[in-house]
Amino acid sequence: MKEELVTAIADMNEEEAMDLVHAMLDAGEDPQVILDAASEAMTIVGNRFDEKEYFLPELIIAGEMMKAIGDLVKPKLRAKSMEAKTIGTVLIGTVAGDIHDIGKDVVSFLLDVNSFQVHDLGVDVPAATFVARIREVKPDIVGMSGFLTMAFDQMKRTVDAIKEAGLREDVKIMIGGAIMDESAAKYIGADAYGADAAAAVRLAKSWMA
């Protein structure tokens, strides 16, 4: 049934997927097997997004399925496992003054699917919060998202704050958002700009290689 579950999730058959999860639990299947199937399916979803077969609707539905399955299965999990391998840690947030979250959420989701440990600070995140959380989490990568044109200056202020805190050399910084481009990355003082969520994952992987 595991393979069927992977296919059902990856093909966006929500009802079938949830029926299978219930059936597997009823049959006494190891909850870890169900979670493994779900994360295998997420990798397929991520690849299809990368190949432009899937778009935002499918990522949102995949995320919701993942959450629903997790809510069902995780309480039954014997407290050990769940220490997944990570290839890097990313701290991500939408900069102060901006409450747009869709782009940031997609990047968080895809990074997570690609084995990064993601700390999502949410939206309207002040520079001081980025700095404090960098000290606490010690991420490899900081991702800043912004949709408004005023995000140019707010991202610049955030990078400056990271510099002043003496943390700039410890992290790679990437930026994203509909109006961002290479010249914005230069102005802001970021290491790179990602045109879309797939580009963000490629960047993050290249930095951890």
Partner 1 sequence: MSEKSPQELLTERITRIMAAAACQQPDRIPVFGPYQKYPYHFAGITWKQAMNDYPAARAACHKFLDYFQPDADFGPIFPYPAPVMDTIGWKAMKWPGHGLDDDDSMYQYVDDAYMTADEYDEFIYDPSGFMFGKWAPRQFTALQGFAQIPPWRRFMWTGWMNIGAIAGPEMQETFRLLTKFAGELNEWWGHQVQYWGEMKEKGYPLGFAAWDWPPFDIIGDTLRGTRGILTDMRRHPGKLHDALEVATKIFIEYGSAAAGAPLPFTWVYVHKSLREFMSDAQFKEFYWPYLRKGLLALIDKGIVPVIYWEADWESRLEHIIDIPHGKIVYHLANTNFERAWDALGGKVCLMGNVPNMMLLGGTPDDVKAYCKRIIDYTKGKPGLIMDSAVMLDEARPENLKAMFDFTREYGMYR
DSSP state of 73: H
149 contributes a contact to partner 1 by CB under 8 A: yes
Residue from 67, 82, 163, 183 binding partner 1 (CB under 8 A)? 183
Task: Give 189's contacts (C-beta < 8 A, 6+ positions apart).
Answer: 156, 159, 160, 163, 173
DSSP state of 11: T
Q: How far is CA 130 from CA 21, 47, 110, 139, 149, in A?
A: 38, 30, 21, 11, 20
19 contributes a contact to partner 1 by CB under 8 A: no
Task: Give 52's contacts (C-beta < 8 A, 6+ positions apart).
Answer: none
d(CA 113, CA 63): 10
d(CA 86, CA 139): 12
Q: With respect to partner 1, which residue has the nearer C-beta, 116 or 193?
A: 193
Binding mask 156-175 for partner 1 (x = CB under 8 A): --------------------
From 2-10, 31-39, 113-121, 191-199, give the range in contact with partner 1 by CB under 8 A: 191-199
d(CA 92, CA 104): 7
Least distance in angstroms from the C-beta of 164 to partner 1: 19
179 contributes a contact to partner 1 by CB under 8 A: yes
Q: With respect to partner 1, which residue has the nearer C-beta, 32 or 47?
A: 47
Residue from 196, 205, 207, 208 binding partner 1 (CB under 8 A)? 196
Q: With respect to partner 1, which residue has the nearer C-beta, 142 or 197?
A: 197
From 21-29, 79-87, 101-109, 127-135, give the range in contact with partner 1 by CB under 8 A: 101-109
